[in-house]
Amino acid sequence: MAVALARRGADDGGMKNAVWIWIVRVISLCVLGPVAGGLMSSLRGGDGSIHSTAFVSDSLVGGLVALVGVFVLAMVGGGLAAKMVSLREGVFNMGLVVAWGAWGSGRVGEALRGAPESGSLVMLSVEGVVVVVLSLVGMVILTKASGGDKDRDECVRFKASTLRVICSDIPTSAMLLGIGLVASMAIVWLQVQSDLSGQAVWGGFVGAAGAGIFGGMLLKNHSIKHERSGEAELSLVPVMVGVLLGAVAGPMVAMVMPGGGKILDAIASGDAPGWMMMSSLAWAGGAMMGTPVGYSWVESSVERQQVHSATA
């Protein structure tokens, strides 16, 4: 799933860069990731089982500490990758560690079964808000770690100027955010058939990759407009935020859906939409891994078309 990013890194920085790509991925996958998964698996549900999320557990404080710990580890892995390779690779590695945290979390359906009160869905949404904030803080830190001159990959750069550009074109930015949210939720609906952690992590990645493809198409059109008019070029950040908001929107939609009171029965029977069975960390890991990969596919396609047009 990371071939497009690895190939791009090799093209940009040669063999040395390609070696660093796999070094930082091994660190994220085999060192930091398992620790993040262990933090989340140490939590217990309201019924004492291993199935829990950060905020649907027997200890809200413990869940918050574990959640922050996952993102600190993710920022370490992502920061190293951003420093040694590129910002886009840093965001991808941050997603790898967060995905490990999602893998270590319990099944959402079982967590809700252990805490069946209606407030559990509210807590899942609140957890989603915290995860969105931590993800954006991580992207700011990675942007600083990557340095301004070394990495020219602006698509995932998140700093003050990024916000100014986003605010300068509210309609397009809102459309990018909507693409991220709607496309990822629709794809997750089709992909995720149970609340198993593996399905949630995979669904988050595929949903975000699809959002990255659709958002990338719009961004490339905007880039052409930027080149012709001199307007500021938008980034991939609104698309990623849209995917991240799935962690907030999923539980909220479940609360207002007809028959929402029977969510546990729907999850157990496999009839619930996929986004009702996703943990917030699965959304975040998918957003940081899948969105840049989807965008890289669009970039590769555009570059091939340009080469073909130039040689025709």
Domain edges within the chain: 3-311
Q: What is the DSSP letter of 233?
A: P
- Residue by residue, pLDDT tens for the chain (312 residues) are 455 555 554 455 566 678 899 999 999 999 999 999 999 999 998 778 888 899 998 899 999 999 999 999 999 999 999 999 889 999 999 999 999 999 998 888 888 877 666 688 889 999 999 999 999 999 999 998 887 544 456 678 888 777 888 888 888 889 999 999 999 999 999 888 888 888 999 999 999 999 999 998 888 776 655 544 444 567 889 999 999 999 999 888 887 776 555 666 676 666 677 888 899 999 999 999 999 999 989 888 877 777 666 675
Phi, psi dihedrals of residue 192, rounded to the nearest 5°: -90, 115
- CB within 8 Å of 186: residues ≥ 6 apart: 207
CA dist 22 and 10 (Å) reads 11
Q: How far is CA 225 from CA 167, 228, 234, 266, in A?
A: 17, 5, 11, 46
**Of 244, 161, 175, which is closest to residue 214 (Cα–Cα)?**
175
Q: How far is CA 124 from CA 71, 94, 111, 235, in A?
A: 17, 22, 10, 29
193 residue type, one letter:
Q
CA dist 193 and 195 (Å) reads 7
- pTM assigned to the model: 0.88
Structure tokens at 244: 């991240």
